[in-house]
Copies of this chain bind each other. A is one copy, B any other.
């Protein structure tokens, strides 16, 4: 553990912490040189670097972040903005995985991570002020709806940002997404390979690009398996459990002969499972069920749910890395990275 004696300078309102200047004096070099060493500039001789590093260690010097921020016009902080209410943020493992990934990428740097929930209007207003005040160098945007105003705001303020999940095929922001199309395709191909013929799907809100991709993947897999498309086998929902229930009832009413369901989220699959149970259908004997997200819900479901795993933690790490590059370079490249998904087969299919 770091343990250090506190020295107090004779006068003034000093805090007793050593400054750059004091380190410079100790090392017998100039202020600029110490600054270069601290910031890892290559333009310092090895000898000098060693002397300075010794002085830093002896004095227990730690840079004053506020001074650095003021002089360099940056904050060394990035915000993870989650436009969701607090309870959802904590409830969904999605976010904790994301935070873990982001944290991992940031651990190397001395960037500070600010968690910002922007669920309510009040919080969004505060966020607006926050961004206007340029109190962060960049923003990680998670779970954004297509019509959200935050991306525009960031654009206006020219604050570097990375979004998780593209808002459309023509996403303009830097984005890190998982391969929703391929994930859905593989899930449905898996059902077809097991001999299922009447494969239904419960979609997410189709104004969410990822939900549309999953639907496209579903259709592609059907086509590849030589199964004719059937509009009655597609039921729209909204990513909620209740929506899943409603859609499942709808499907059951329309196509009692269905033998498999691909739900575009685990939560919707949970709703579907309940309705299937009530209707006396056995899973997977009568109806196979596959979800998406591979969340805790999937593992704890009875029977355990086959699901498409998204590499959330890796997405978080990648987002942070991309953002750091954007902040660094400001090249305006805006990379779009798509990470692969993985089908996790369990009992429900």
Contacts and interface: CB of A to CB of B under 8 A. Distances in A.
Interface of A: 1-4, 6, 13, 15, 17, 60, 62-67, 69-70, 73, 75, 86-87, 89-91, 93, 95-96, 99-100, 103, 107, 112, 114-115, 122, 124-126, 128-129, 132-135, 149, 153, 156-158
Contacts of A75: 65-66
Contacts of A13: 73
A91 B300 CA distance: 14
A3 B91 CA distance: 32
A66 B77 CA distance: 12
Contacts of A86: 96, 99-100, 103
Copies of this chain in the oligomer:
2
A15 B73 contact: yes
Contacts of A122: 107
Instruction: Select the residue from A66, A112, A129 with max chain B CB neighbours within 10 A.
Output: A66
Contact of A129 (B2, B69, B124, B135): B2
A149 B17 CA distance: 21
A70 B73 contact: no
Given A4-B132, A66-B66, 15 more contacts: A1-B125, A1-B149, A2-B132, A6-B156, A6-B158, A13-B73, A62-B132, A65-B69, A70-B70, A86-B100, A90-B90, A90-B95, A107-B122, A107-B126, A115-B115
Given A15-B134, A132-B62, A125 B73 contact: no
